[in-house]
Structure 1
């Protein structure tokens, strides 16, 4: 039975997408729910799966083509596949069976040679492109001979059989197209700098109290909640309390209107292979520390695997970004519109500080709050940042809601 394969229904925040990769060719046998196509949007890569066992009879949208929400991208026919494709499927199954049999006998498994780069996952394709590794030279250990990111990394660490000789004075350049996500991030950042009255205020926080509390309770916390107690949960909870006290920082501008949000959805900037993404923790005022840590951990894993959904990155009333994980000592983060403020965390570094007339070496962190001066006055911005500083330097206040 012939059916149409359509692009997913995009949310209102996503206008269109681009066909990134066709994993299956016309006439090739596919199984139900097998990924046949990747569609890249401004925020995520969406996977299109086969509706049933069968084959693609025609491709309407080729790689690189722009597709709209619910637009037809291919024609599909259910049922058994005849001819060469069917034979290939049988041969593939035989290879898997032979590999399993040899593994059971104690011999090294027979692994099918790596498939073309176009058949690999988006993260693997990016790793191959950036490393300049030929996929034909990589032994894939994934299912069906697919290459994994670890395969690419392991291949790069192997000594080359024949080192490449480069002529003296030769300078190599590589040109690759910018991904839709990277282009969208660039557009939003440029828009933020041009369309907001952005200003940044700074402060510093003594991280010793939080570090001592974390050291004392981290093992019991992980045993009880199954989550690692990090610094982000303290910052999310401190920022949420500060947002309650300064509603303008949690607001947004819509045309000539100010929208005050009665909820606290905090976006946490996460670095991925495709670029910076900002998944959102919903209702952080109702979350405990374990829920915050588990939520961030789950988002980080999804970002690495390219599995974040559009819904998980939509909305948000405030954003926290942590450049300290990369060693940044000080920076001026850029607002994530339509939000009106963003908090920047940085590297913890020991510095001599004057405390009650005495010099002490303390683990200090610079904090940066970038805000839209059209809505937030300097007094509110400074007060907001000082509130976060005080709550982190006396974390008992967070716990006791003081």
Structure 2
């Protein structure tokens, strides 16, 4: 009630809480009998008002006058003491004074500290330093190299290497589990796949504003988050595992994870400072992504088809599926690809006399697919080419669906013929 008064709570609300605190009892079982006991403290588990009452009562801790160089951070019943000093003796003195003040005030509230659960980490850019002696309730707290706070592993060097490793591992396990629900053929649509895989992204980018800047300092952090993201995005676009990181992110319409982390960090900084930058965090992300795509030497076919990734992201008129992704990525039932992975002896096309069966050959050249190509051109109202395929897809939903139907018809036939060739005693390659 004292905390309510100090918070200048209206009298009618104070009376409500006074009644709430008075004459309370709880019924429990003792063997075969039910026993009613009087309750003088605490609130029921899951109480709506419980967190509010805790914040009111605990606020006195956060309002303590601390020694210079110290501050408190509170989250639920976790209290973080942050102390700084120009030397180890100064740090030791400041930290111990703060710990003593906080401990005494918590004890005055009728609460107790779990000293055995208390952890400490010294953040320093020096490789070697004298370990400060930290005392809490008469017990020595030995500093560690890292600690876990609010789900994040914080290390001495603040490079978050261990946190990224753990987050990537958790995200990869989640992605694999969800992947079993999403086969490339017959699984959910791309939009639903992305919804499921957003769980993976949430795990991967948890706490990103804290560790985003390490992407440029620790190359392994960047490769880990982008590698896990790539595997998840391959599930969303129904792509082969050999599709490059560049092509995967383009087709999925999703910037690389390290850029998303930097974007979240920038957004957090803007909200915290109240100062808006000239370019929005999303615009900055798109600019960096475009530059990275231009510099990349992988995913060349997808880059030819989709030269403007921003337009692709904003203008998609439908979903990708297993067959359409093969056409757009160049990884699928094509002689060039099958030869590269060791399933064919050459790049040759089994449906015509061409010595090179690529996605481009299948899309615009191979005479075996003249009828399917004519149907596509009638539907889209133009000649099919590498330059106009994606613009046509982005113009209307009907055009997108027409390209999707073309991909399904052609790639299904190519896959069927490939399976026939793989069977013992199967038919000889057909030439158009």
| TM value normalised by structure 1 | 0.23
The structure number with the bigger radius of gyration is 2
Structure 1 or 2: more strand by fraction? 1
Q: Using CA pairs below 8 Å that are at least 6 residues apart, which structure has the higher relative contact order?
A: 1
TM-score by length of 2: 0.22
Structure with more of its chain in helix, by fraction: 2
